[in-house]
């Protein structure tokens, strides 16, 4: 399963939303709050195998399915 699909499914299951677009802002739409971001990071680290340093915890990396997928792919390529 693609990273985008796994992230989308996690968001739908964990935050009880029916649909989420790849480019939809989690924070602006109210899907995820700051505590939810920490759940999301835990999922990324445990299920996708990507360590997330504190310096990377910025909206540019974690505010949508597309941004998370791009972040995970970048970190995998850098490793």
- pLDDT per residue as tens digits for the range 30-77: 999 888 999 999 999 999 999 999 999 999 999 999 999 999 999 999
Alpha helices in 16-78 (DSSP H): 26-29, 34-47, 59-62, 65-78
C-alpha 71/C-alpha 75 separation (Å) is 6
Q: How confident is the model at residue 10 (pLDDT cuts 50, 70, 90)?
A: very high
DSSP 64: S
Position 31 scores a pLDDT of 92
pLDDT for the residue 53? 96
**Answer CATH for 3-78 from 2.60.40.2220, 1.10.1200.10, 1.10.1060.10, 3.90.850.10:** 1.10.1200.10
Name the band, by pLDDT with cuts 50, 70 and 90, for residue 79: confident
């Amino acid at each position: 399963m693609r990273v985008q699909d796994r992230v989308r499914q996690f968001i739908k299951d964990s935050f009880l939303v029916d649909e989420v677009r790849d480019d939809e802002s989690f924070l602006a739409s109210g899907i995820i709050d700051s505590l939810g971001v920490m759940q999301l990071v835990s999922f990324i680290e445990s299920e996708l195998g990507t360590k997330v340093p504190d310096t990377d915890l910025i909206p540019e990396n974690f505010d949508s399915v597309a941004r998370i997928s791009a972040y995970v792919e970048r970190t995998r390529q850098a490793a």
